[in-house]
């Protein structure tokens, strides 16, 4: 006989959202436990509150990291619980009763849209919300395209008329110091005297960057530079784009090479950023790198101390050098002569002392004769 068992099937009827709202319409779900009726087990309970991460939690973390960088690492654990959603669950059936979202996005289907952030809420019609989103999207797209065009490639421009202004004349009227002193005047000087005009200057290559749309950039450091850093890392003064025609020649140069180039200036570099233009041709100058042109003032002062250090080393070597045999003989003869002269002086001193002693004993002999005379008289 084969035993036949009965299968017991449990089926839970899903709870509609409308029923949940009707049962707990007077309950305000926040970050603390509340008394309510569970829509699943139909029991009066006190909810349990748990924190769960949502899309807003991760989005806020990424935005915070992009804005303030690595400083967000110690800050994020402190605010992590503030950007999480509080979830109310039933302690009996363990079902989720309500999810309190930090950011409540409205539905696009509703005519009246409400954006709620915590206890603050913004109510707008769907037409205004779509208009605001389109405006912000247009601003972001145009800003991104402008940045890409500025960084990775300028539009083709015509070869401007040549001018004889030097780099020193340029930084006097359009340099960083002039811009910080009077930015409006510096920009006006650039637009009147340098914009869309070709200059012939000499500078050193800092780096070459490959861009988009068949445009590439070469960054040039001029002498003297606009900005000098304490770290010694060179900051480019010019960012020049070049076409594919110069790509084969550019591939043969390296950072630090001295170039004599012709370029048309296009855009003024504000707040220390490089000035942008287009380079037409260049000539590599085969010369040795002059270190005094690229060193900082502190490094130059240290470099000027090298001759003094070398002179001190030579002096110490001369003092520590061993004495030759001839010099030793000469010094020994000198020492012997000095010793003989000292011995002679000692002998003369002994003779004088003896003579002095003999002359000093004369009165003693006279005293003895007087004593003998007195003795004879007494007798």
Question: What is 217-272 written as a DSSP string?
Answer: EEEEE-SS-S---TT-----SEEEEE-GGGHHHHTT--TT-EEEEEEEEEE---TT
What strands lie across the sheet with 120-125, from one edge to the other? 103-104, 112-117, 120-125
Confidence at residue 11, expressed as pLDDT on a 0 to 100 scale: 45
Q: For position 31, what pLDDT does the model report?
A: 80
| Dist CA 152 CA 208 (whole Å) | 12
Tokens representing 213 are 């749309």
The pLDDT assigned to 212 comes to 57
Q: What pairs with residue 49 in β-bridges? A: 88
In this predicted structure, what is the pLDDT of residue 362?
42
pTM greater than 0.75 (yes/no): no
pLDDT of residue 288: 54
- pLDDT computed for residue 324 by the predictor: 53
Contact yes or no for 97/39 (Cβ under 8 A): yes
Q: What is the pLDDT of residue 291?
A: 45
The pLDDT assigned to 295 comes to: 46
What's the topology of domain 167-291?
OB fold (Dihydrolipoamide Acetyltransferase, E2P) (2.40.50)
Which parts of the chain sit beneath pLDDT 70? 1-23, 103-108, 115-119, 147-156, 211-215, 231-232, 287-308, 310, 320-379
Per residue in 133-180, pLDDT (tens digit) is 899 889 988 887 776 665 554 556 788 899 999 999 999 988 888 888
Question: Which DSSP string do the residues of 57-85 spell out, in sequence order?
Answer: HHHHHHHHHHHHGGGHHHHHHHHTGGGSE
Residue pointed to by tokens 């606009």: 226
HSE (side-chain half, CA atoms, 13 Å) at 248 = 1
Query: Exposed/middle/buried for 359, CB within 10 Å: 0-12, 13-18, 19+?
Result: exposed
pLDDT of residue 155: 55
């Amino acid at each position: 006989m084969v035993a036949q068992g009965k299968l017991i099937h449990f089926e839970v009827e899903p709870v509609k959202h409308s029923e949940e709202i009707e049962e707990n319409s007077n309950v305000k779900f926040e970050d603390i436990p509340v008394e309510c009726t569970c829509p699943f087990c139909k029991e009066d309970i006190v909810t349990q509150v748990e924190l769960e991460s949502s899309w807003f939690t991760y989005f806020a973390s990424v935005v915070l990291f992009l804005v303030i960088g690595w400083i967000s690492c110690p800050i994020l654990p402190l605010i992590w619980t503030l950007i999480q959603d509080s979830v109310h669950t039933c302690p009996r059936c363990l079902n989720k009763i309500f999810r309190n979202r930090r950011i409540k996005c409205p539905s696009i289907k509703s005519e009246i849209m409400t954006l709620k952030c915590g206890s603050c809420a913004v109510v707008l019609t769907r037409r205004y919300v779509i208009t605001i989103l389109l405006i912000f999207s247009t601003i972001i797209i145009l800003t991104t395209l402008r940045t890409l065009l500025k960084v990775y490639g300028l539009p083709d421009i015509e070869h401007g008329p040549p001018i004889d202004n030097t780099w020193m004349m340029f930084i006097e009227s359009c340099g960083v110091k002039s811009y910080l002193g009077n930015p409006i005047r510096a920009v006006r000087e650039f637009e009147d005297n340098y914009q869309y005009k070709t200059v012939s200057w000499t500078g050193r290559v800092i780096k070459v960057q490959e861009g988009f749309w068949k445009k590439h950039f070469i960054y040039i450091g001029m002498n003297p530079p606009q900005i000098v850093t304490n770290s010694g890392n060179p900051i480019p003064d010019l960012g020049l784009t070049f076409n594919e025609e110069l790509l084969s020649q550019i591939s043969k140069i390296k950072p630090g090479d001295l170039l004599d180039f012709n370029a048309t200036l296009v855009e003024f570099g504000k707040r220390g950023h490089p000035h942008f233009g287009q380079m037409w041709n260049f000539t590599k100058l085969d010369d040795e790198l002059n270190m005094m042109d690229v060193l900082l003032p502190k490094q130059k002062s240290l470099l000027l101390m090298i001759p003094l250090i070398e002179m001190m080393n030579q002096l110490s070597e001369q003092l520590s050098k061993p004495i030759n045999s001839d010099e030793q003989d000469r010094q020994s003869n000198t020492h012997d002569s000095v010793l003989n002269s000292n011995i002679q002086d000692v002998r003369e001193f002994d003779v004088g002392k003896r003579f002095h002693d003999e002359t000093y004993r004369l009165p003693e002999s006279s005293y003895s004769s007087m004593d003998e005379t007195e003795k004879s008289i007494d007798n």
